Structure 1
Amino acid sequence: MAARFFQMKEIRCTLLTDGSSDKALLPIISWLFREHCPDFAVQKAWADLYRLPKGTVKTLPDRIRFSIELYPCDVLFIHRDAEKMELEERIAEIQTALQDTEHPPTVCVVPVRMTEAWLLHDEPAIRQAASNPNGRQPLSLPKMSSVENLPDPKQTLYDLLRTASGPISRRRNFDPGRMAHRVADRISTFEPLRQLSAFSRFERELVAAAKEQRWTMS
């Protein structure tokens, strides 16, 4: 009798971001799906629109349309950094851009300030990303309650990576941008981010989309 193999159902998700450094959100999305949709395998894609001819993509609706056409998906994650705008303003901006566009279920991803604020809670991950996991240099990680108020989370993360990399001899090929991506890949849990208002909203929106699509039983 032939053996039967269980094949997990799949969820295809596409992430549209402000910039390439925001691909660091993909491990966070994976973690949330494992938390809420453990019976599904997740296939993730980052919408790389930079390869399109210059001038092709001019507006957010353009970016949404091309992301869906080039990276078909079951759910589209649309990222915008809040930066100097209020969280609700950024979300309203995304919702307006969606109005005249056919699209799959969408989830807004709007960190307060910028994505790097969501990568500042895991000291071992920062040390590993800096290729110096056994380093003893003190790292002054910001309190989780304060990361949404940091003026420049990206610079904060880069400074931590520079310190974690150790002596100047180790920094010859220091590339904080590449290392920042490695931080996200090495974080095992993003549960501390649930203290943050922007992350909590993001998670609630993901869960709502998952329930609507019957990807979760809770």
Structure 2
Amino acid sequence: MTVRVLFLSEGSSDQGLVSHVEGIAADQGVPVTVSAPDLRWLRSAVGHSVSDKLRAARELGGPYDVAVVQRDADNGPPEVRKAEITEAVHTQWPGLAHVPVVPVRMLEAWLLLDEQAIREVAGNPRGRVPLDLPKPTSVERIADPKQRLKETLAKASGCKGRRLTELQQRFPRNRHRLLDLLDRDGPVGEIPSWRTFVSDLTVALNGF
């Protein structure tokens, strides 16, 4: 059986997680097809809430076995986001299995650990400036992982002036590239929220 997965992300740049959903499924020997509709292209504007996105995805049609829904914890406990996702699924799509993906505090925390990937994306793969990257055990306690990632990419690039401004303007693209390069067997495996994501997805996929 091929498991049909609906992937809904918090933002378009988070859709790089699709390849990791596929990779985790492959590790389990479970064939999947993953659909990640870009709801921004719908004629009617779609709200930002999980309920809004689920409603729009359901209206688009297509049978699914499980929904993988990503929502950053931000400044609250991850349990609040998980409850929000569960309630939205039960309300908008009763009976659909679901897997919440809740990075703490933001998905950028998952991207702050791979020094070589950061240097490559920053355009200076042989750079030697110390980046002072956080440890996996403490990265989820960083107050603003997105700002920390921006600063780390800037430091790794060695750019100044206009070149630095151009680098900062490319942050959404660079963030997406870092997500593509994320090594599932690397340091991210020590982050609790990532381990929970992998575990929950594994359990869901093996239930079919």
Pair in the same fold by TM > 0.5:
yes
Q: 1:59 to 1:125 in 2, by over 3 A?
A: closer
Please state if 1:141 is matched with 2:133.
yes
Q: Which runs of 4+ in 1 moved over 6 A?
A: none
Q: CA deviation at 1:56?
A: 4.5
Task: Give the whole-Å Cα distance in 1 for the aligned partners of 2:151 and 2:185.
Answer: 21
TM-aligned CA distance change 1:132 to 1:64, over 3 Å: same
| Other-structure match for 2:78 | 87
Distance 1:58 1:131 in 2: 33
* Secondary structure, aligned partner of 2:35: strand
What stretches of structure 1 of length at least 5 have no aligned partner?
1-8, 214-218
Helix, strand or coil at the partner of 2:67? strand
Aligned partner of 2:120 in structure 1 is 128
What is the identity, as a one-letter code, of the residue corresponding to 1:94?
I
Residue aligned with 1:161, SS: helix
The 5 Å alignment of 1:33-72 reads: 33-37=25-29, 40=31, 42-57=32-47, 59-70=49-60, 72=62
Which letter does structure 1 place at the counterpart of 2:192?
Answer: S
TM-score where L is the length of structure 2: 0.84
Is the CA contact 1:117–1:154 (under 8 Å) kept in the aligned structure 2? Answer: yes
Are the counterparts in 2 of residues 145 and 196 from structure 1 also a CA contact under 8 Å? yes
Residue of 180, 185, 189 corresponding to 2:184: 189
Same amino acid, percent of matched pairs: 36
In structure 2, how many angstroms separate the alpha carbons of the residues matched to 1:58 and 1:109?
A: 16
Query: Counterpart in 2 of 1:5?
Result: none
> What residue in structure 2 maps to residue 205 of structure 1?
200
Structure 1 residues 88 and 33 mapped into 2: Cα distance closer, same or farther (>3 Å)? same
- Cα shift readout 1:152-199 (whole Å, capped 9, x = no counterpart): 111111111111222327536311121111112223334433322222
Query: Can you give the 5+ residue segments of structure 2 that lack an aligned partner in the other structure?
Result: none
Equivalent pairs, count: 203
- Determine the C-alpha separation between the residues in 2 that align with 1:80 and 1:209: 18
1:48 Cα offset (Å): 1.5
RMSD: 2.4
Structure (1 or 2) with the larger CA radius of gyration: 1
TM value normalised by structure 1: 0.81
Find the counterpart in structure 2 of residue 22 from structure 1: 14
Structure 1 residue 92 displacement after superposition: 0.8
